[in-house]
Amino acid sequence: MADFYSQASFVIPLNAEQLTFANKVIECALGQINDDIYDFNEDYDPLVVKSVSEDVYTMAKALVLQTDDYEKGCVCLGFLTQAVYDGLWITGEENINDELAANFTQMLLQYFDLDICVCFGVAYTCSKPRLDAFGGDAVFVTKKEVEYISSTQWLSKKKAEFEKQLSV
């Protein structure tokens, strides 16, 4: 049996204050603040959500509700984060949910009104040689857009252009 992997690693440039906020969002989403596990199907209630600000809760909720099959207390974001000297490092173990990682990146760029871009590549690999198991994506994120291009799309386009030239 073959094992399939998707891997990426990138840094969202954030200052110390922004990094603290981003970490609080992740901790809130994963129930790592005072072991508080919130029901993100519910609106923010300061009587229930005492450990985080409304902004942190709102972003955590938006992030969590994008995951597949959300259940209270059972959140898997599909990516890992770590504070580094120049921002927030996002990576994965065997696999990364690159779409959710890109969306979280965009949320932070929008929240802090950052006019920067964050770019990263995603590698698709396999433990066995399979014809359709290798490739990748390039991801471009700004506060206004998230754009992807896959190596498969690019190769298909180049092949079609080549074949069109041959038929002329």
Q: Give the closest residue to 139 by CA, choosing from 9, 3, 4.
A: 9
Helix axes 98-111, 54-64, angle to 10 degrees: 150
* Complete DSSP assignment for 67-114: STT-BTTB---S-EEEEETTEEEEE-SS---HHHHHHHHHHHHHHTT-
Could you give the number of structural domains in the chain? 1
- With a pLDDT cut of 70, the percent of the chain lying above it is 100
Phi-psi region of 151 (alpha: psi -120 to 50; beta: other; left: phi over 0): alpha
What are the two backbone dihedrals, phi and then psi, of residue 52, each rounded to the nearest 5 degrees?
Answer: -135, 160
Note down the domain range covering 35. 4-166
Q: What is the mean pLDDT of residues 56-72?
A: 93
Q: What is the pLDDT of residues 111-168, one digit of tens each?
A: 999 999 999 999 999 999 988 889 999 999 999 999 999 999 999 999 999 999 998 7
Statement: the pTM of the whole predicted model exceeds 0.75: yes
Residues 16-45 have pLDDT tens digits of: 999 999 999 999 999 888 777 889 999 988
CA 51 – CA 29 distance, rounded (Å): 12
15: left (phi over 0), alpha (psi -120 to 50) or beta: beta
Taking the C-alpha atoms of residue 26 and residue 20, their distance in angstroms, rounded to an integer, is 10
Q: Residue 100: which pLDDT band, with cuts at 50, 70 and 90? A: very high
